[in-house]
Amino acid sequence: MIKLEKQYITSCENKARLNFDFSIDGKKSNIWYEVENKYSQYLCTERCDAFVIGVLPYALTKNHDIVSEIPMTEELCYKLNTTLIPLLSKNDEHIFDIKISVPTTAEVLQNAGAVGTGVSGGADSFHAILNTYDSKYKGLQLTHLCLFNVGSFKGNKRFQKDIYERCIERAEIIAQEFKLPLIISNSNLADVFSRNHACTHDYSSAFGICCLQKLWKSYYYASSCTDVNIFTLKNSSKNDSDVYAPLIHYCFNNYNLNIISEGMHKNKMEKLESIADSPVVQKYLHVCTAKSDNCSKCPKCKRTMLALDAIGKLDNFSDVFDIEYYNKNRFKYYWLLFKNHYHKVITTEDVYQKIKSKMTKSEFVRLKFLVALRYFIFDVTHSERKVYKHIKFFGINFKYKKR
């Protein structure tokens, strides 16, 4: 059983910290969420919403009920107990049908009427900013940008610290470009509950949003889902939480807070196509998970550069990508594209089809032959094992010998 015993605010220098004292089967612990002092008035101690959402992935997989004497928003508690938890537990043998036993209240919290979104510097983030910054829906127009450290920077501490500090620097510049206030927050949530961030990021981000529940009227969560048609609850504990994000956000939404999945109707290439002409995006787009600046060589950098190449915009991003390296090593990038197509990976299929459509049939056949020749024959001869294999690659059969 996970029991929230106390939540309170402390201050140190120019930071305000929302603390959650809790216990797991009697063993005491603490998680916290920290922002600048000027935002302390918006930290929410009146509800345990943030705590429940933050610990929920752990509780679901470890079979812990959640209890507290601190009240929870009634609608949120109802949706979690009657919709989200039962659906997840029915479709994943690693998730348990736990119960949240807390007092509830239907009293509406007063908020400052702010509208926020994250500013990671990625394509999804920029799409959310550009589409809501000067929105025709004035009540939903963006007022704040946020950088939440609630799990995405967990890993090698020194390495991730360098990336985090560079992300802060980049976020501050982007906020200045849009003339919007930037909220930078920090938390130990991912240290206390070690977990795969990809599988839980919708929960971790909602934890950060709900900690500042008295600030927000609405919050745009930049959807990174490649295709809403892949929605599934099967094995949700092992999958990216974005594959069922519409359900998560429906359950988290209540009369105190509106979380909007922004951009889930577009795939990555469509988003890039809509933001690629922005000078701010061209100067500050950051997608790399390996370096503090884009390395141009990791899978995420490769996918983004391929998509920009497919829409004819790659040369505009010479400030953030190594275009010269890409042009010299185009086969390495196309290899990723063709391999993903062969294995039916949908994340790059639209890019594959776009690049294919630009070529004549003879150009395409020649290209895939050269890519296959380069990476299925020459790159495997380094092995000293003598193994024969038959490989069928896009209708081309090869027989090679590993030496």
Q: What is the pLDDT of residue 240?
A: 87
Q: What is the pLDDT of residue 375?
A: 59
Which of the listed residues 236, 262, 288 is the one where a domain comes to its end? 262
107 — phi, psi (to 5°)? -65, 130
Considering the domain boundaries, does residue 92 fall inside one?
yes
Residues 258 and 302 in one domain: no
Residues 178 and 44 in one domain: yes
Render the burial of 125-145: b for 16+ CB within 10 Å, e for the rest.
Answer: bbbbbbbbeeeeeeeeebbbb
Considering the domain boundaries, does residue 393 fall inside one?
yes
Give the residue ranges of DSSP H helices in 234-329.
245-252, 268-275, 279-284, 299-310, 323-328
Residues 358 and 219 in one domain: no
Q: What is the pLDDT of residue 398?
A: 41
Residues 251 and 346 in one domain: no
Q: What is the pLDDT of residue 223?
A: 84
Which of the listed residues 262, 289, 317 is the one where a domain comes to its end? 262
Number of domains present in the structure of the chain:
2
Considering the domain boundaries, does residue 185 fall inside one?
yes
Residue 114 to residue 118: CA distance in whole angstroms: 13
Query: Which residues is 260 bridged to in the sheet?
Result: 220
Residues 152 and 214 in one domain: yes
Residues 345 and 245 in one domain: no
Tokens of 245: 């994000």
Considering the domain boundaries, does residue 18 fall inside one?
no
Residues 238 and 342 in one domain: no
For each of the chain's 403 residues, which pLDDT tens digit applies?
A: 999 999 999 998 899 999 999 999 999 999 999 999 999 999 999 999 999 999 999 999 999 999 999 999 999 999 999 999 999 999 999 999 999 999 999 999 999 999 999 999 999 999 999 999 998 999 999 999 999 998 777 654 544 677 888 999 999 999 999 999 999 999 999 999 988 888 999 999 999 999 999 999 999 999 876 566 678 899 899 988 988 999 999 999 998 999 999 988 888 899 999 999 999 999 999 999 788 899 999 989 999 999 999 999 999 999 999 999 999 988 778 878 887 887 777 778 889 899 888 778 887 787 777 766 665 555 544 443 333 343 444 444 444 344 3
Considering the domain boundaries, does residue 3 fall inside one?
no
User: Cβ of 313: how many Cβ atoms within 10 Å?
Assistant: 17
Residue 294 to residue 285: CA distance in whole angstroms: 9
Residues 367 and 219 in one domain: no
Residues 220 and 310 in one domain: no
CATH of the domain at 197: 3.40.50.620
Residues of the domain holding 189: 32-62+70-262
Q: Is 38 helix (H, G, I), strand (E, B) or coil?
A: helix
Which of the listed residues 213, 246, 262 is the one where a domain comes to its end? 262
Tokens of 145: 């940008």
Q: What is the pTM for the complete model shown?
A: 0.87
Query: Which residues is 184 bridged to in the sheet?
Result: 147
Q: What is the pLDDT of residue 137?
A: 93
Residues 322 and 384 in one domain: yes
Considering the domain boundaries, does residue 13 fall inside one?
no
Angle between the N-to-C axes of helices 245-252 and 197-211, in degrees from 0 to 180, rounded to the nearest 10: 20
Considering the domain boundaries, does residue 15 fall inside one?
no
Residues 240 and 378 in one domain: no
Q: Is 20 helix (H, G, I), strand (E, B) or coil?
A: strand
Q: What is the pLDDT of residue 151?
A: 78
Query: Which residues is 398 bridged to in the sheet?
Result: 391
Considering the domain boundaries, does residue 16 fall inside one?
no
75: which residues sit within 8 A by CB, 6+ positions away?
A: 106, 254, 255
Residues 241 and 304 in one domain: no
